[in-house]
Amino acid sequence: MARPLILVSNDDGITAPGIRTLVKVMKKIGDVVVVAPDSPQSGMGHAITIGETLRLDKSIAFESIEAWECSGTPADCVKLAKFHVLKNRRPDLVVSGINHGANSSISVLYSGTMSAAIEAAIEGLPAIGFSLCEFGHDADFSHTEEFIEQIVREALKKGIAPGVALNVNFPKRSEEPLKGIRICRQARAKWQEEFDERTDPHKRKYYWMTGSFVNFDKGEDTDEWALANNYVSVVPCQFDMTAHHAIVQMNNEWSLEPEINLNPEVKDN
């Protein structure tokens, strides 16, 4: 029986420890191809490269694995993988990560890791983004491996709904073993930013963004609750950002004419 073809990407760069752990696990399950940024691309969201050159070079970052490093964003990596590197092959699954730092709640919007997964979903490919709630370059990923393997095998066996990418987050390793996996919703939370005004050696002002994460959501079915209680959180995400409930409210309550003359100087006949 043919082994599944798995595409691996990330946003921390092709040399990051997190992607090495993910490749290690994926090699147990299927044939692996890596297309990842040649430098860190954290916080890029779903940016794509327009008006600049994109470079794609063979990489020796992984022994006995087909690997490519790309000068673009995580979304660029998935696009180039599908339409160039794998143009005659269709991956059975796209996985992204393991990210150094959480991508739970609102962070999914800013995440390059999840944007790689979402880009795959846009292209009709099942996808999963993996993140660890620890930012350090020396982060310990060992407690994530068995859960990643379990989630990936289930996704390959049972499938992921069309247009959906799974956002998987792991608590930081602690003395207490992980309790299990929770399928969750995204918590209603946000980053409360502050901007520290500073001065460079040339006496010019610049700003350094700081701030803190604020969770407004007290529900016990959210990713933030799961992580705080030592569970692995799994949130199904989609790229359709339509607020369907608002369509009903606007159709019922707004008074909009079918056609509006936006130029009062031009008279309707």
Report d(CA 253, CA 36) in Å as an integer: 47
Say whether 11 counts as a known binding-site residue: yes
DSSP state of 131: E
- The residue assigned the tokens 């050696």 is 201
In whole angstroms, what is the distance from residue 108 CA to residue 93 CA?
20
CA–CA separation, 217 vs 223, rounded Å? Answer: 10
Q: 76: annotated binding-site residue?
A: no
Has 131 been labeled as part of a binding site?
no
57 is in an annotated binding site: no
List beta partners, residue 235: 167
How far is residue 143 CA from its own chain's centroid?
20
Known binding-site positions for a divalent metal cation: 11-12, 42, 99
Known binding-site positions: 11-12, 42, 99
